[in-house]
Amino acid sequence: MSTAKSFDQDFIKGVAYILLSTIGSSLFGLFSKFGLDNTPFFLITFLRFAIPFILLLPFSLTKYSVVQLWQARNWRIQWLRSSCVLVYQYSFFYFLNQQSLLDAAVLQSTSPLFILIFESLFHRQRLNMLTLFSIVISFIGVLCILQPDLGVISRISLVGFLIPVALAGSQVIYFHQVHHAPQQSTLFFLFFLCSIFTGVLYLFSGELFQTSTYGHTSSLVHAWVLLGMGVTSIFNQSFRGFAYRYARPSILAPFSYIALLFSGLFDWLVFNRLPNLCSGLGLALVIIGSVIQFYGKKRFIS
């Protein structure tokens, strides 16, 4: 009885934190959509990591000395997660630069399907029939939202496919990290390593020497957009880390589908783009699939 009560309490805390993380993720997508209209591709990807790193640096140094930071262990895990995040981020920005915010959010929200698969492989657990059924329902919903005429089967869809796969891999690794390393140190190295890689790639991309065709908004607004990306990124990662202290990613993953509602709302209010009937049906199927997935997973663990 006490074990069940403890599970419920941890689960509620995990859900609360993952919902806050989802809000941050949705806002990050909105700021990114604006940022991509005014900043070269490789530069904005570098700034996406460099700005959070600069913002976190003073807080990290107040808690850890430079020597303590560089004596951090599990470098292999740090590099592995950073690699997943980099693949996800480049794919997400590339897709978002050509498609709508809702379409990008839909592909991102399919990561729970791969989280289930990755966790079952790592823990050598078979997926039950209810979970498999929820995956099929959610996937059909995703196809309804994207629709063939919006480019589901196209070259860009291959890039889009990397979004949920890389994101799922990073979240499964992140769950391991929050239980074996201080979260502040983990975030510090994530943004640091990604800043180094994206910075080098930006220097070799040639964008630095190209005549800019961007800058459709004022520099002040542009600066606020970039700052918004940095703050919401830290917001998203921090609360996601808190959530994973209380429950596995596969248990909390269905609640990340709430991002679809926020992204659809932003598409409507900001970009004046309403989903059609097929997209509405897809959203309903995704939500139904996530509910089935959640109850099936919780019943299995309980």
Give tens-digit pLDDT for 79-111.
999 999 999 999 999 988 887 777 788 778 778
On the question of pLDDT at 197 being above 90, the answer is yes
Q: Show Cβ contacts of residue 277 under 8 Å, excluding neighbours closer than 6 positions.
A: none
Cα–Cα dist 115/117, whole Å: 5
Mean pLDDT of 129-145: 74
| Number of domains making up the chain | 1
Cα distance between residue 248 and residue 119, in whole Å: 9
Exposure of 167 in the CB half-sphere (CA atoms within 13 A): 27
pLDDT digits (tens, 9 = 90+) for 140-164: 876 776 665 544 456 666 777 788 8
pLDDT at 294 over 70: no
Average per-residue pLDDT for the chain? 79
Between 294 and 92, residue with greater pLDDT: 92
Examine the pLDDT at 246 and tell me if it is beyond 50: yes
CA distances from 144 to 108, 133, 141, 205, 276 (A): 15, 17, 5, 36, 10
What is the residue range of 147's domain? 2-301
Q: How many CA atoms lie within 13 A of 269 on its CB side?
A: 7
**The pLDDT of residue 218:** 56
**220 — pLDDT class (breaks 50, 70, 90):** confident
- Residue 50 confidence (pLDDT): 95
pLDDT of residue 86: 96
pLDDT at 102: 74
pTM: 0.82
Q: Is the pLDDT of residue 178 over 60?
A: yes
205 vs 197: CA distance, rounded Å: 12
Contact present, 164 and 138 (Cβ < 8 Å): no
What integer pLDDT is reported at residue 91 of this predicted model? Answer: 93
Token pair for 38: 């005014």
Tokens 């630069």 belong to 97
Which of 288, 298, 286 minimizes the C-alpha distance to 252?
A: 298
